[in-house]
Chain A
Amino acid sequence: MSETAIEALGLAKRYGRGRGWALRDCSFALPAGRVCALVGPNGAGKSTLLALAAGLLRPTQGVVRGPARTDLAYVAQDKPLHPQLTVADTLTMGRELNPGRWDGEIAARIVETLDPGARVRRLSGGQRTRVALALALGKRPELLLLDEPMADLDPLARHELMGALMADTAERGTTVVVSSHILTELEGACDHLLLLDGGRIRLDGAIDDLLAAHTLVTGPVEDLAPHTVVESRTTGRQLTALVRNEGGPVEGPWQTTSPSLEELLLAHLRASKTADRTPEGASA
C-alpha cells in the first residue's frame, strides 16, 4: 500500500507569459490504491493539475511522475467524445486504441442502459458521462483521473456510477483522483484529500488522519495559544475555531469536538482566502 501511484515535485503551470500561475509549488505523493478527492473552488487549478498528471500539458516548472500513458485513464471535464460515432463505435475505439488491455465487459456494463446504435452527438450530458467513464474503466487503468465527472448526472446515476467506480477499485486496487467543487459528491467514497486553492495545495493527506489532526473548539473568546489556529470566527461572545492538535489536547473553558470533513474544508478555504488578502501572508 505504501507504493506511490503519482507524485508531483514543485509542479507549476502558467499558460503563457504575463498570465498568472494556474498552479504553483505543488508537491504531493498519492499512495497507490487510494481514492483521492481533489477539491477546491472554481479556478483553483484542479483541471490543470489533472491535465498535467494525464500528460496532456507540459509543466512550466517541476515534474509529475505517474504511470505511463498505457496505464492511466483520464476523463476531461467536458467529456470529449467523437460526436459522429455511435456508442458501440466509441467502445470499439477503446478496444482498438488499447490493444491487449481492453475489458469490453466492464465498459459494456456501464453503458448498458444506452442504445449502442445511438450517435454520441444525440446523447444527453449524463449519457455522455457514462460513455466517457466506460471508455476510461474499460482501459483497466492503474490510475484513473476524473475531472468533475458527476456534474451532469442525476443522483441515481451518480450513485450507480460511483458504485461501479468503487467496485473497480475494490477489485483491482485502482488509484482514483476525482475532482469536484461539491464535497458531498465525494464524501464517503474518498479516503484521501487534496485541497487546492489559488493554484496551491492547502491540505493533503488521508482523510482519517486529517480529521484526527484537527479539533473544533467553541466557547468564550480567549487566546488559544499555544495551539495553532487554522481559522477562527467570533459571533458575539462565542468563539469558533479550528485548531491543529500539535500542541496536545486543548485545555480550557472550551468545548471540543472532532470536525466533520466539511467543517475542516471550509475552515481551510476561509483561512487561505484571508492569507491571500494580506500581502505575503504567512500560510495558515
Chain B
Amino acid sequence: MLRLVAVRLTHAVPVLLIIAVLAFLLMQLLPGDPAVLMAGDGASAEAIQQIRERLQLDRPLWEQLVSWVTHLLSGDLGTSLTLNQTVVSAVAERLPVSLSLAVVSIAITVPVGILLGVIAAAARDSWIDVAVMAIALLGVSVPSFWIAILSVILFSVTLGWLPSAGYVPLSDGFLPWLLALLQPAIVLALFQVGFLARMTRSAMLDVLDQDFIRTARAKGAPESRVLWKHGFRNTLIAVLTVVGYIFSLLIGGSVIVEQVFALPGVGRLVVQAVLARDYPLVQGTLLLFGFIFVLINIATDILYVVVDPRVRYD
C-alpha cells in the first residue's frame, strides 16, 4: 500500500512540475508592471527600480523561473503584493473556508446522488428516472450564480431561514458553522447531484444486466440485497471515479459561489488577486488548485484498490 502511494506520487512529479511552470508562465503574460504597481502613484523611477531589483524582476525570464521552482521546493511561494503577508499564509488562512464548503457539499451530494441513481436504475423509466435525467441536464445548463441569487431571495430574504452571506468558523460551534455553509453547499451540490445520479444509474444498469444478478434473484435474495450488495457494490469503481471528478469540479464551482455568498475562501482570494494584479498570489493559488486536482486523482487511483480488491497496480 505504502509502495503504491509512493509510486503514484513519483509518477505525478512531471505533471506537478509542468503545472508549476504553467502557473509561472501564465502570470508572465499579465500586462502591467508589478514594480510600478507596488511603488504606488508618483513614485520615482529610482524607487521603482529598487522594487524591481528586490523582486528580481530585472533578471532574465529563465532565471526567475528557476528561482520560482527552487523556492517552491522549499515551500516558499513568495509574498503577496497587496495583502502584506506571504502567499502561503494568505492561502492557509482561507483554505479552511473552501474545504468546509467542499466537505459539506460532498456530504450532501454523495448520499443523495447515489440513492437517486440506484433508485433510477431499479425503477427504469419511472418518474424518478425521468426526474434524475432532468436534474442532471439542468445541472449542466443553469448558471450557478443565478440559482444562488434566486436561492438567497427565497430562503434568506423571503423566508428568513438561512443567512445570506458570511462564514462562521468551526471553532464557534458545529451548528452555526453548518448553518452558514448550508445554503452555498446546497447550491453547489445541486449542480453535482444529477451528474452523480446519472453516472451511478448507468453503472448500475450495466451491472444489473449480468448473470450473477439473475443468480442472486433466482436463489431468492431479497431485492434490496440484490440492488445494494450485489449490484451497487460492483459499481463502486465507477462511482468513486465520478466522486473524485466532482470534488475537482467543486473547486472551480467554489470560485463563483464564494463570491455570491461572500465566503472568505480561496476562490474569492483568487478573484481579488487577479483584479488587483497580485502576481505572486495568483501564481500561488493557481498552483494550489492544480496540485489539489492532481492529488485528488492520485487519491482516487489508490482508493480503487480499497473498494475493489481485484484492482492491482503491479
Q: Do A and B bind each other?
A: no
Give residues in A with beta carbon < 8 Å to B: none
